[in-house]
Amino acid sequence: MAMALSGTEALHSVFSAIADRAGNTERGRVAREKENERIASFMRTAMASQERVAEFQKKL
């Protein structure tokens, strides 16, 4: 608690959080990779749905 009150730990925590979000740390890189895979999975699903809609419209 004394370190947090001195401000050193608080500054370290803030800069660590910024570095994580920027992907400049191992934890940040892992999080960014997971997010990119989640987005890629969503895009694959969306494209498959669009293809199914197009096929359905052709049958009409």
Whether 7 maps to a domain, the answer reads no
Position 33: which residue type? E
Whether 53 maps to a domain, the answer reads yes
> Between 37 and 18, whose confidence is greater?
37
Q: 26-59 and 8-22 helices cross at what angle (nearest 10)?
A: 30
pLDDT at 20: 81
Number of compact structural domains in the chain: 1
Condensed to tens digits (0 to 9), the pLDDT of residues 10-34 reads 667 888 888 888 888 888 899 999 9
Whether 10 maps to a domain, the answer reads no
pLDDT at 45: 98
Whether 25 maps to a domain, the answer reads yes
Q: Which domain holds residue 37?
A: 18-59
Whether 34 maps to a domain, the answer reads yes
pLDDT at 22: 83
